[in-house]
Each structure stands twice: as C-alpha cells, then as structure tokens.
C-alpha cells in the first residue's frame, strides 16, 4: 500500500494506472471501523484499484461541533487499510488554501431537512470536499455508507446535477451484534450511554416491523418509535419518515420507497441511524399521499 500526503503525490501515483485500470474510492474521516471496512471490501470487488482517503474535513463541522475532539487514529487506520488490501491511502494535511476556500459548493435541495436542519452548512462542506477529492482521485466508483443516508442522497444528486463521471455506490449499514449502527462517534459513549443508544435501533426496528405488519400511517409509526425513545429517556433531534430518494415528508407509506430516520444526542455523542420501511399492500388498500414539501 502506498501512502500519499499531497495532491501532487496522489496524482503522480495514480496517473500511470488510470488508462489501464479502474479505480474505486472510499473517502473517510478515519477512525475506521467494520462499517468502513465493508466499504473497502465492496470497493475491492468493484474495481482494480482501491483508494482510501482519510481527512477530517473542517468545512463540514460548525463552530462548537466535535472537530478538535474528532478521533484521529492514523497509524491504526493505515494498518487496517494495508491488511484489507487497499492500494493507495491518501492522507492530506489540508485540502484548502491557507485562508480557507473561496469557492465552495452548495446543495440547494435535500439539505434543509433531517441533519441539514440542525447542522446548517454541513452538507455544503461535505459536497465541497467530496468534489475536491473526486477531482484528485478521478475514481470510476465511489462508495458511501447508507448510515449517512442523507449524505448519500445529496452526493448522488451532486454527481447527477454536475454530470460527474463517477458511479456512486451505497453500502449497507453495518451494526454491532445487538443492532447499534457502527459509527466513529460510538467511542464517545460510556457503558450507560451505550445501553441507552440501543433505543435508536430498537425504535427504527419497531417502525419497520409495524410497517411490515401493515401499518401505513406515518403518525402511528412515529408514535411507536417515540414510545421506545421515551422509555429510554432519549429526546430525538428528529424522528422522521421520508421518501427515501427525494427526502420529502410522507403522511402514508406507499409504493415509493420510504425510510425512517432518527438523530439523537446520547451522552457526548450525536448519533444517527435509518432504516427502510416496507410498504405492505395486504392489510388495506393504499390511499397514499406525499406531502408537497
Ligand atoms: O462520511 C464521511 O466520513 C464524510 O462526510 C466524508 C464523505 C468522508 C467527507 O468528509
């Protein structure tokens, strides 16, 4: 595995390979866990060369968020990458000019709800850095985890709107044995927080099972989840069911794929998770609607 620390270096390393081999890219902020490793494994199946980047992007953290505290574990991450067969590891000191970027990207849709509502500017920071990384790596495929579903939806839209020559591939959420979604931020959880955090998964599962059993009313599904969160003393930042792709709100489940989303602060960690909700046609006919928003 080769490690590059500057743009010039990674460009130089990849240039001779580009015409003969395909490249799959996994952008990360490091502190790699089994979730990231599953992205890397998927990348290895898709292309000849796997490139991973590790860069804690300051542009996607608002003032007061955990930019400084964000775990940085480069040596361990590099070993994991090497053992997983990664070909190139890109670990730049910075990706921006000294006084910050003059030009950034802005997501005008999809970013004003869910995480975007409580983290204004976050997704603009994400798409700006992903765009920079795509320009450097010029991958054929880029793999993103579905835990950050909104991020994945926005990146898909960026690639579509800006006609970028890269295929975006989503990858399943990887969970601990009890169901908690893997996240670099789980390491902020105390033992007590860890137990409490499980309620996010349980609330999503309960909605999923109710939907499978035929419940279509979003209000009812959300109250099932709310009861579980209440019992665990968790006040969610959001608990929502939306159209999986447009992220518009829904009143009833229908044929359009729907997804349930939760974000909550547990101890020092802000955790997010999501799950698909099936539309069960058997118990009653659909009289579905989707809100205009
Ligand atoms: O999902 C992440 O880890 C980050 O948002 C990403 C895509 C690496 C951009 O900094």
Please indicate whether residue 52, judged by its CB atom, sits closer than 6 Å to ligand 1. Answer: no
DSSP assignment, residue 173?
P
Contact between 77 and 54 under an 8 Å Cβ cutoff? The reply is yes
Nearest-CA residue for ligand 1 atom 1 is 28
Contact between 149 and 261 under an 8 Å Cβ cutoff? The reply is yes
Tell me the whole-structure pTM to 2 decimals.
0.94
Residue ranges covered by each domain of the chain: 2-171, 184-276
Q: Which CATH number fits domain 2-171: 3.40.50.620, 3.90.1640.10, 3.40.50.1820, 3.40.250.10?
A: 3.40.50.620
* Dist. CA 150–CA 100, nearest whole Å: 25
Q: Is the dihedral of CA 128, 133, 139, 27 positive or negative?
A: negative
Q: Which of 28, 61, 173 to mutate to test the pocket of ligand 1 (most atoms within 8 A of CB)?
A: 28
Tokens 């926005």 appear where? 154
Q: Decide the pairing of beta strands 141-145 and 23-28.
A: parallel
The residues annotated as belonging to the active site are 36
State the helix-helix crossing angle for 34-46 and 74-83, rounded to 10 degrees: 40
Please indicate whether residue 29, judged by its CB atom, sits closer than 6 Å to ligand 1. Answer: yes
In angstroms, what is the span from residue 257 Cα to ligand 1's centroid?
25
Q: Which secondary structure element, helix H or strand E, spans residue 35, and what is its range?
A: helix 34-46
* Dist. CA 102–CA 95, nearest whole Å: 13
CATH class of domain segment(s) 184-276: alpha beta
Tens of pLDDT, residue by residue, the chain (293 residues): 999 999 999 999 999 999 999 999 999 999 999 999 999 999 999 999 999 999 999 999 999 998 999 999 999 999 999 999 999 999 999 999 999 999 999 999 999 999 999 999 999 999 999 999 999 999 999 999 999 999 999 999 999 999 999 999 999 999 999 999 999 999 999 999 999 999 999 999 999 999 999 999 999 999 999 999 999 999 999 999 999 999 999 999 999 999 999 999 999 999 999 999 999 877 555 444 455 44
Phi and psi at 263, nearest 5°, equal -130, 140
3-state helix, strand and coil shares in percent for the chain, rounded to the nearest 5: 40, 20, 40
Q: Which of helix, strand or coil describes residue 243? A: strand
Nearest-CA residue for ligand 1 atom 9 is 126
Residue 52, CA distances (Å) to 72, 77, 127, 293 in order: 15, 10, 17, 36
* Dist. CA 145–CA 260, nearest whole Å: 16
Q: Which of helix, strand or coil describes residue 202? A: helix
Q: What is the CA radius of gyration of the chain?
A: 20
């Amino acid at each position: 595995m080769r490690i590059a620390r500057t743009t010039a270096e990674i460009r130089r390393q990849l240039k001779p390979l580009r015409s003969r081999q395909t490249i799959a890219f996994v952008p990360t902020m490091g502190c790699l866990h089994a979730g990231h490793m599953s992205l890397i494994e998927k990348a290895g199946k898709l292309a000849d060369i796997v490139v991973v980047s590790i860069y804690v992007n300051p542009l996607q953290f608002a003032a007061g968020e955990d930019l400084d505290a964000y775990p940085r574990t480069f040596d361990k991450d590099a070993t994991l990458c090497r053992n997983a067969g990664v070909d190139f590891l890109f670990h730049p000191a910075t990706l921006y000019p000294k006084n910050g970027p003059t030009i950034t990207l802005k997501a005008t849709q999809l970013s004003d709800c869910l995480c975007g509502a409580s983290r204004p500017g976050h997704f603009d920071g994400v798409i700006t850095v992903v765009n920079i990384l795509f320009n450097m790596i010029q991958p054929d495929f880029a793999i993103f985890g579905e835990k950050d579903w909104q991020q994945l939806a926005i990146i898909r839209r960026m690639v579509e709107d800006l006609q970028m020559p890269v295929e975006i591939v989503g990858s399943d959420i990887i969970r601990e044995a009890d169901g908690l979604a893997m996240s670099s931020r789980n390491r902020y959880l105390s033992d007590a927080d860890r137990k409490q955090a499980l309620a996010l998964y349980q609330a999503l599962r309960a909605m999923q099972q109710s939907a499978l059993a035929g419940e279509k009313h979003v209000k009812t599904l959300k109250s099932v989840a709310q009861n579980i969160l209440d019992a665990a003393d968790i006040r969610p930042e959001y608990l929502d069911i939306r159209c999986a792709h447009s992220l518009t709100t829904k009143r009833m489940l229908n044929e359009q794929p729907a997804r349930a989303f939760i974000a909550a602060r547990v101890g020092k960690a802000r955790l997010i998770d999501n799950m698909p909700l099936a539309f069960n046609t058997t118990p009653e006919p659909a009289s579905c609607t989707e809100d205009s928003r």
